[in-house]
Amino acid sequence: MRSSTPPLRPWRPGDVSPQRLVLVGGGHSHVQVLASLAMEPIPGTDVTLVLDRPVAVYSGMVPGLIAGQYETRELEIDVVPLARRAGARLVLSPATGLDPVARRLQLTDRPPLSYDWISFDVGSTVAHLDLPGVQDHALATRPIGNLTRRFEEEVERFAERQERHVAVVGGGAGGVELAFTCSARLEKRLGRRVDVTLISAGERLLEGYPERLAVTVERHARERGIELKSSARVTALEAGNVHLRDGSQVSAGLVLWATGAAPHELSARCHLPLDDAGFLAISRTLQSTGDPRVFGVGDCATLIADPRPKAGVYAVRQGPVLTHNLRSAIAGRPLDEWYPQTDFLTLLNLGDGTAIGAKWGQVVSGKWVMRLKDSIDRKFMRRFQVLDEHGAPLPDFAEVMDPEMEELMACGGCAAKVGQESLDRALARLPPVPESGSSNVLLGVDGADDVAIRRIGSQSIATSVDAFRGFADDPYLLGAVGANNALSDLHAKAARPKTTLALVNIAHDLSPDDAEEQLFQVLAGARSVLDAHDVELTGGHTTTGLELFVGFAVEGELDDPPLLLNSGVRPGDGIILTKPLGTGVLLHADMSGRCPGRWLTATYRSMLSSNAPAGVLARDHGAGSATDVTGFGLAGHLGELARSSNVKIEVRVSDLPALPGAVELLRLGERSTAHARNREAARRYEVAGDATGHDHFELLFDPQTVGGLLIAIDAARTAALIAELARHGVDARIIAEASEGPAALEIAR
């Protein structure tokens, strides 16, 4: 990844700042831009991809999914690993608007992003969703991801209710394919005939397409028993019925809403020219007619000089032109013009293994047409699907990452810690703390905990400092995770964090403006977490160096006793873990573009989840010890608890919870750079022979960033604590038990 390459030298006055290109959305055109960037980056350009969801769905194969011909994964493009291969910074946040004067993209849950060039490929929504009853009683075809997720549920409900009638509203290509494929799927599922009605507001099906194609579709519909209603406008839906303008009704236990494209709500908030329907108005160079620094493609935009129906085939053809024009605009070269094809190949899936094809006035049908459509669709998907369902690179992307470069990619986050043994030896070499300097220190450097505790009057004060080098190239995310990570040490002791100081190292190859923006994003991300915990950012220090580094010193109030120290584990305690494991391996895989978006999203969600409720509940339920799992891995922290408390702890690898994808990646041989160091410490532990063969064994050594809490509590109280944690949204489980010493960590299957 480009972000892992050390800068050559500090920024100097006169240096040209990188151009900032922002891609909003992961549509059919943008994935082509990303694939091009993976092969040839744009010199002097920082690319950011903004997504509201990590996976894009290829619309051309959706009817095949409805028919049961494809699995969901076959028509999904995971844009995250593709973006990583392209060296693009990733921001997982919906865009909400644009300020073209200030050149800032507004986002849902974070500060705006600045840009020099920006491109929108966010698709469209479905028209007439505001009609009475549509939101409650119809399954809309967009967003496509919602359709693919919900269709299976609707099929099962249809079957359970023993329904017979389906209505598809919309006479365009999408509605036609849905009518045929849904009919085929339901009849195969139920083993009986299903009555399907295709309702079209136009005088005939497929308006805008050749009449000969419409006639052929109508013939096939009659043969399949699909009823056609033309010039029929829907006025409302209610449970079981579709109301038409002429007063008639169509019975329907399932309604699919495919009424054509409507503009994405983002369009109206971009403060740019729109067409009459509300779509972004673009010129032949795919630039906004009101701002040449803004590009628009796919269903979200309309070519004013030659408007065409919204169809994925146009977005696919726009991809190469957009790629060329973005490169040319940034380089100051002339741009190409896009002329939409006047006659494109239309392929309609009929759901029974056959399809209808039309081009140059000719219309054909049969199984061979479906084989052609399937071949074209799969060829397109192979260009952009980076990983298989297990997280392994697919053949076309197996060699994109330079192996030598990958070896140099050191992990960030808590995986970047100095090893436990090195830390212990360094601290042991220090002279004792002077007696005069420790009179009010209850817990200091000679303790085994991650906090210091001192007494001021009648109040105990807990302090901690934590910092890491960046694990991703999103400074806002790093600030938020960094703050949560620092607070976690105090939360493990049930302390109440009150104030914090920030330490931020900014990459020294940034211009003053870019350095300001990076610092702002880090601190804004931190504030999003600190404010939520009522913690005041009171100051800090900034430096410059090779890369982004984020840290916080936190201070808070502590009620004592109990102190929940590492030395407080008692024989007979059960040990509870409050978060799944795997952030280290998942973040490392993401660095090299081998972490699917859905796994990465779950990882981010875990790191941003606060340990505050777990710490307080541990104290209130009488726990004797609590600590958070960090870069030393679960085994390292369990070993420390055993040594500090002089107890024997037995951990069962089969009980270890894992984040989505962590076990799969470990099985493939993926490892964080700190994993081997943590595993080396296993020589000190007692490992049962059959434990090493368990899939979850390596989770013991995976370094965690904002990992969960390890809570030691009397075994009789574990069930009550776990139940209370669940009521607070914490999915905890018992993973180990403590017994009489001497100190040891035993690892069992």
Indicate whether 26 pLDDT > 90. yes
pLDDT number for residue 13? 73
3-state secondary structure of 697: helix
In a domain, 404, yes or no: no
Torsion of CA 376, 377, 378, 379, to 10 degrees: 50
| 584 shares its domain with 606 | yes
Q: Which of 377, 359, 151 is nearest to 258 (CA)?
A: 151
User: 29-33, 360-364, 507-511, 586-590 — which is least confidently predicted?
Assistant: 507-511
* Strand 89-92 with 95-99, pairing: unpaired
Q: What are φ and ψ of residue 169, in 5° steps?
A: -100, 115
- Say what angle helices 718-727 and 612-620 make with each other, to 10 degrees: 140
Place of tokens 């002279």: 431
Mean pLDDT of 717-737: 97
Residue 546 has what pLDDT? 85
676 pLDDT above the threshold of 80: yes
SS3 category, 601: helix
Residues 99, 179, single domain; the answer is: no
| CB-based contact 127:259 (threshold 8 Å) | yes
Q: Would you say residue 732 has pLDDT above 90?
A: yes
Q: What are phi and psi of 496, to 5 degrees?
A: -110, 100
Q: Which of 290, 319, 342 marks a domain boundary?
A: 342
Domain membership of residue 75 (yes or no) is: yes
Whether 357 maps to a domain, the answer reads no
Strands 686-687 and 536-545: unpaired
Question: Above 50 in pLDDT, residue 404?
Answer: no
Report pLDDT for 562: 75
Q: The tokens of 373 are what? A: 């459509």
Assess contact for 502 and 480: CB atoms under 8 A.
no
Burial class from Cβ neighbours inside 10 Å (0-12, 13-18, 19+) for residue 529 reads: buried
The CA dihedral of 528, 534, 537, 538, to the nearest 10 degrees, is 170
Residue 367 lies in a domain: no
CB 677 within 8 A of CB 700: no
∠207-209-210 over CA atoms, to 5°?
A: 115
Count of C-beta atoms within a 10 Å radius of residue 618: 31
- Is the pLDDT at 561 greater than 80? The verdict is no
Tell me, yes or no, whether 191 and 313 share the same domain: no
Domain boundary among 284, 316, 342: 342
Mean pLDDT of 107-128: 94
**Spatial separation of the C-alpha atoms in residues 631 and 629, rounded to whole Å:** 7
pLDDT digit string (tens) for 331-355? 999 999 999 987 788 999 999 999 9
Query: Can you give the pLDDT at residue 396?
Result: 77
Q: Who has greater pLDDT, 563 or 716?
A: 716
Residues 548, 442, single domain; the answer is yes
Q: Rounded to whole angstroms, what are the CA distances from 23 to 121, 243, 539?
A: 8, 41, 34
Looking up residue 257, the CATH number of its domain turns out to be: 3.50.50.60
- Same domain assignment for residues 76 and 29: yes
Domain boundary among 213, 235, 261: 261
The residue written with tokens 């999203």 in the block is: 601
Does residue 406 surpass a pLDDT of 70? no
Helix (H, G, I), strand (E, B) or coil at 323: helix
- The 10 Å Cβ neighbour count of residue 66 is 27
Confidence of residue 538 (pLDDT cuts 50, 70, 90): very high
For the chain, what is the mean pLDDT? Answer: 90
In this predicted structure, which of 27-31, 268-272, 414-418, 635-639 has the lowest mean pLDDT? 414-418
Greatest Cα-to-Cα distance within the chain, rounded to the nearest angstrom: 97
Q: Which of 107, 52, 93 is nearest to 608 (CA)?
A: 93
SS3 call for 403: helix
Q: What is the 3-state secondary structure (H, E, C) of 617-657?
A: HHHHCCCCEEEECCCCHHHHHHHHHHHHHCEEEEEEHHHCC
CB 673 within 8 A of CB 679: no
Per-residue pLDDT reduced to its tens digit, 575-600: 999 999 999 999 999 988 899 999 99
In one letter, which amino acid is 744? A
Query: What is the amino acid identity at position 619?
Result: R
Query: Are residues 453 and 589 located together in one domain of the fold?
Result: yes
Q: Is 104 found in the same domain as 38?
A: yes
Q: Is residue 396 a contact partner of residue 379, using CB atoms and an 8 Å limit?
A: no
Distance, CA of 624 to CA of 738 (rounded, Å): 12
Whether 350 is covered by a domain: the verdict is no
Q: Is residue 389 part of a domain?
A: no
Host domain of residue 74: 2-124+263-342
**Mean pLDDT, residues 23-29:** 94
Q: How many domains does the chain have?
A: 3
Pairwise CA distance, residues 429 & 358, whole Å = 81
Angstrom distance (rounded) from CA 318 to CA 28:
9
Separation of alpha carbons 629 and 638, rounded Å: 9
Q: Which helix (H) or strand (E) holds 97?
A: strand 95-99
* pLDDT at 351 (0 to 100): 95
| 118 and 146 part of one domain | no
Q: What is the pLDDT of residue 411?
A: 59
CATH number of the domain bearing residue 618: 3.90.650.10
Q: How confident is the model at residue 446 (pLDDT cuts 50, 70, 90)?
A: low
Is 361 within the bounds of a domain?
A: no
Grade residue 31 by pLDDT with cuts at 50, 70 and 90.
Answer: very high
The first and second tokens of residue 551, run together, are 């840290």
pLDDT band, very low/low/confident/very high, at 688 (cuts 50, 70, 90) = confident
Q: Which of 182-186, 262-266, 555-559, 679-683 has the lowest mean pLDDT?
A: 679-683
284 and 426 part of one domain: no
Question: Based on the number of CB atoms within 10 Å of its own CB, is 743 exposed (0-12), middle (13-18) or buried (19 or more)?
Answer: middle
Of 211-220, 425-434, 486-495, which range is least confident? 425-434
Query: Interior CA angle at 714 toward 708 and 718, to 5°?
Result: 55
How far is Cα 326 from Cα 307, in angstroms, rounded to an integer? 22
CA 33 to each of CA 20, 38, 280, 379: distance values in angstroms, whole numbers, following the listed order: 15, 9, 20, 17
pLDDT digits (tens, 9 = 90+) for 710-720: 999 999 999 99
Q: Give the pLDDT confidence score for residue 410 in this predicted structure.
A: 60
**Pair (601, 735) in one structural domain:** yes
With bands split at pLDDT 50, 70 and 90, how would you rate the model's confidence at 5?
very low
Give yes or no: residues 417 and 565 share one domain: yes
Residue 749's pLDDT is 87
Sheet containing strand 249-251, edge to edge, reads 234-238, 241-244, 249-251
Confidence of residue 361 (pLDDT cuts 50, 70, 90): confident
Do 256 and 272 lie in a common domain? no
User: Does position 15 have pLDDT exceeding 90, yes or no?
Assistant: no
Residue 417, pLDDT > 60, answer: no
Neighbouring C-alpha atoms within 13 Å toward the C-beta of 664: 16
Within 13 Å, how many C-alpha atoms sit on residue 625's CB side? 30
Q: Within a domain: residue 428? A: yes
**pLDDT at res. 207:** 87
Residues 184 and 83: their CA atoms lie apart, in Å, by 37
Q: At what angle do helices 597-607 and 475-491 cross, to 10 degrees?
A: 40
Dist. CA 2–CA 194, nearest whole Å: 54
What is the chain's alpha carbon radius of gyration, rounded to the nearest angstrom? Answer: 29
Three-state SS for 376?
helix
